[in-house]
Amino acid sequence: MKLASWSKLKSRTADNLLNDKIMHRVGIEQSEKHNAIKQYAHLHGISWYESR
């Protein structure tokens, strides 16, 4: 299990998510980015926390 801060995880995965063919098929929207990144983290076994 990896641990990453939300901001680091977001910067690392956001571009990959948006460029992913599956995400394009699903038609991800700006408002869905947060949940999509959380799902990505969950699927890849990355534990994350939101830094405030």
CA distance readout (Å), 51 to 8, 9, 25, 40, 43: 10, 11, 31, 18, 21
Spatial neighbors of 45 by CB under 8 A, at least 6 apart, are 1, 2
Q: Residue 4: helix, strand or coil by DSSP?
A: strand
Instruction: Dump pLDDT digits (tens) for 10-48.
Output: 666 666 766 665 555 555 555 577 777 778 777 877 765
**Per the structure, how many domains does the chain have?**
1
Q: What angle do CA 28, 30, 31 make, to 5 degrees?
A: 95
Question: Which of 50 and 5 is assigned the larger pLDDT?
Answer: 5
> Which range marks the domain in which residue 11 is found?
2-49
Distance CA 17, CA 44 (A): 12
